[in-house]
Each structure stands twice: as structure tokens, then as C-alpha cells.
Amino acid sequence: MSASSVSGKEFLESAIKQFEEAADILKLDEGLREFLKIPKRTLIVSIPVKMDDGSIRTFMGVRVQHSSARGPYKGGIRYHPSVTVEEVTALAMLMTWKTAVVDLPYGGAKGGVRCNPKEMSNSELERLTRRYTAMISSIIGPLTDIPAPDVYTDAQTMAWIMDTYSQLKGEPTPAVVTGKPVSLGGSEGRAEATSYGVAVCVRESAKKFDIPLKNAKIVIQGYGNVGSYAAEILHDWGARIIAVSDSKGGILLKDGLNPYKVMEHKKKTGSVVNFADAKNLTNEELLEIECDFLIPAALEGQIHKGNANNIKAKVIVEGANGPTTPEADRILEEKKVKVIPDILANAGGVTVSYLEWVQNLQMFRWTKEEVLKKLEDKIVKAFNDVLNHVEKYRIPFRKAAMVLAVERVADAINSRGIWP
């Protein structure tokens, strides 16, 4: 995962700017704009943790709840050294739009803890997670705010949160988080959900822009959960994965990489770098490779005004949250590069989170095939809904997705009214 090239403050400014552009197109009421720019609640907590050596370290944690106009708050929790309140606020706002684009009955939230999980033991991470959960337990809940995994958190993290919350409430509460292990009420298909949504968006874009998917050249930045599964799915559908990267660097093989073998290599060596027969390259070089589809699946701000002119992809499908800055968007638009935005392209994760939550509340379970079919139907419908707005307003995909999302949230607020 690449380090972000934008600060949390810049990321928040860019999220607000995108919202403002959509609000302008919709001629949104000034009071409603102000209401939607400021999150409903921000909780900042200090998390003391006893480390394995007996010392005590205190970490900063945050949970931002942006909007609940369309339903309970929904959004992941990330563990990363660069977590800031501004970054988490921007991500919470993006979650509001993302859940609205795919028409889920949710609002948007996000959480984060500023720490370096790579330097912490499993038991230290467990103590951190349980303490953080206890400190935000008053504002989360199965019908209030439902966290999920994000950067450097996973099913194990969610199991600790669910168990801690259940202990505090005195009853099993599996629906308080999604992205849990299947044995604790997690959904089949959750592991590859975000990637599957990305792959469906690539497939639908290929149809729309007349790019044959068979042998289409795909470049993926970020070979974590999202990037690696997307590579495998698209490879299985006949596309050619020509380059991938992780935080240590990238690899290029024009004849096409076998993503399954690349993952085996990464598990053995800790990186995709030095894969047999492939040429090593930097993350920066990787973004500028000529290809049909570029999938940025690392951190935000990777495509910016400094490198956007060098992008040679026909279509960018955003696997990460906020990987393209507004300045880069304008340059890409001039270059006629199509961008399928994060709030549509990577909404597969939150869609299957929703399906997991529904299963938990109803106490039943669908098969993996059923889950992925429901996910595919949701993403295809959302893609076409956004496409209709592209054609209706004659605007690029990102603006169209934002207009659709803001329109849905504004409709909900107007219907509910401001009480009292």
C-alpha cells in the first residue's frame, strides 16, 4: 500500500469540493449544503494500551458519523500511522455517497486509530481494538452505526469488536459489525466482495466503451486484499494482468502475469517485487504504463496533478478510496480518460456488508453464489443509474455518481424534515 501523497486536510477539502460541484448541478439549497458538509458527530478518544514489554502507550482513535438521513451509519475502521480526524471525516462523507449510489439503507461513517499495526504484536492489537471498542461503544450498535474492516484491519479485528460489544451489552450482537469471520456470522463472499465490485465495473465499462475484456491490459496498484482478488477475478474472465504493485514496488510482464502465482510469491517473500520473468518498477512508473484499465487499489491521492498528464490508461476504475485528486480529474477529463469513481467502483464491500447485516438481523445465511449474484445485480444497477446521470447532465462519471448520491440523500432529508 503506497503512502498517501495528500494530507488529511487536502483530502477533506477535495471531498467537500466534489460535493459542492454536485450541489451546484442540483442547485441545492444553501442550508442543506451546510448541513451536509459538517458531520453529525465526531468522537475523538485516547486509547491507553499495555504493550508486551509492560510499558503503556496511548493511541489516538476517532469515529466520525457523517449522515444518518438514509439509515444507520456504515463505514470501516482503519489502523494506520497517518490517520487524522480530517482524513476520517472525508472518508465518512464518501461513505454517505457510496451507500446512496448503490441504494443501500445506510448513512456514512468512518473510524481510525493512529498506530503502526506492522510494528505491533497480535495481543497488542487485540488490547488496542477492545479498548477502542469500549470507548466508542456508546455511539455504535446494530441499528445505529455498524463498523467494518478497512486499511490494516480484518475479520479478526471485527471479531474482537463484536465480542467486546457483546460482552458490554450482555448478549450476542453479531450485527454490530460486518466483515466478521464466517464462523461468527460473517457472510460468504465478503473477502472478495470489494474486488468483485471493481471487476464488475471493469466488465461493464468494457461493454460501454467497446474495449474487449478478453486480453484487455490491466494494471493494478496495490496488491492487498482488493487488488489481488480483482486481479484473480479479471484473469479468470480472460483479461491480461500486465503489472501489479505493493508498498515495496511493482512488477511488469507484458505477456501477462498469473495473479495466483504472484500471490504465492508475495506470501513467500513479503512483496510482489522480484517475481520470476517480470521487470521490477516503482509505484510511480506503474501508474504511467499504457493499458486499457488502471485500477488504483492502494491509498488516496495516488493520481495527482504531478502525474495525471502521464497516465496512459483508457479507463481508471478506482479500487481505493479517493485515489484521484480533483486537479488530476480535470487533467484526465481533458485527456478523455474515463474514471469510474470509488463511490461506485469499490462499493462491492459495503454492499456485501449490507447483505451480511441483513443475514445477521434475520438469523439466516445465503450461499456464496447467492451473495455474489445479489452483489452483481446491485453494482450493475448502480453502474447504469450513474450512466443515466452521465447522459442526462452530460458530465463525467465521478460528477454523475456524486449528483446521484447527493440527490438521494437530499431527498431523504427533505422527506424527513429537520426536527423539531
Question: What is the strand order of the sheet 240-246 is part of?
Answer: 279-281, 249-252, 240-246, 217-221, 291-296, 313-317, 338-340
Residue 102 is predicted with a pLDDT of: 96
The answer to whether the beta carbons of residues 242 and 289 sit under 8 Å apart is: yes
Amino acid at 291: C
Other beta carbons within 10 angstroms of residue 221's beta carbon come to 27
> Rounded to whole angstroms, how far apart are CA atoms 387 and 194?
20
Which stretches of 99-176 are assigned E, i.e. beta strand? 108-114, 145-149
pLDDT per residue, tens digit, the chain (420 aa), is: 334 456 889 889 988 988 999 999 999 999 999 999 999 999 999 999 999 999 999 999 999 999 999 999 999 999 999 999 999 999 999 999 999 999 999 999 999 999 999 999 999 999 999 999 999 999 999 999 999 998 899 999 999 999 999 999 999 999 999 999 999 999 999 889 999 999 999 999 999 999 999 999 999 999 998 999 999 999 999 999 999 999 999 999 999 999 999 999 999 999 999 999 999 999 999 999 999 999 999 988 899 999 999 999 999 999 998 899 889 999 999 999 999 999 999 999 999 999 999 999 999 999 999 999 999 999 999 999 999 999 999 999 999 999 999 999 999 999 999 888
- pLDDT number for residue 420: 82
Q: Residue written as cell 508486551? A: 52
Q: Which residue has the cell 448503490?
A: 102
Contacts of 395 (CB under 8 A, 6+ apart): 25, 389, 403
Pull the grid cell for residue 395.
Answer: 458530465
pLDDT of amino acid 6: 64
Domains 40-174 and 193-345 share a fold: yes
Q: What is the pLDDT of residue 390?
A: 96
CA angle, 236 as apex, 186 and 278 as ends, to 5°? 110
Give the count of beta carbons closer than 10 Å to the beta carbon of residue 337. 21
User: In this structure, which topology does domain 40-174 adopt according to CATH?
Assistant: Rossmann fold (3.40.50)
Q: What is the pLDDT of residue 326?
A: 85
Q: Show me where the domains of the chain are located.
A: 40-174, 193-345
Q: Which residues contact residue 207 at a Cβ distance below 8 angstroms, ignoring those fewer than 6 apart?
A: none
Order of strands, sheet of 73-80, starting from the edge strand that comes earlier in the sequence: 41-50, 56-67, 108-114, 73-80, 145-149
Cβ–Cβ < 8 Å for 59, 50: no
Distance CA 192, CA 227 (A): 10
Task: Confirm if 244 and 319 have CB atoms less than 8 A apart.
Answer: no
Q: Using alpha carbons only, give the angle 315, 317, 320 rounded to the nearest 5 degrees.
A: 145
Task: Please calculate the CA angle 399-69-26 and round it to the nearest 5 degrees.
Answer: 30
Residue 110 pairs in a beta bridge with: 64
DSSP letter for 187, please: P
Exposed e or buried b for every residue in 279-294, given b needs 16+ CB within 10 A?
ebbebbbbbbbebbbb
Is residue 110 part of the annotated active site? The answer reads yes
What does the pLDDT look like over 322-356, one tens digit per residue? 899 889 999 999 999 999 999 999 999 999 999 99
Distance CA 1, CA 297 (A): 8
The pLDDT, as a whole number, for residue 5 is 53
Set 9, 27, 37, 110: catalytic member: 110
At residue 10, the pLDDT reads 86
pLDDT of residue 1: 37
CATH architecture, range 193-345: 3-Layer(aba) Sandwich (3.40)
Q: Yes or no: say if 322 and 402 are a contact pair by the CB < 8 Å rule.
A: no
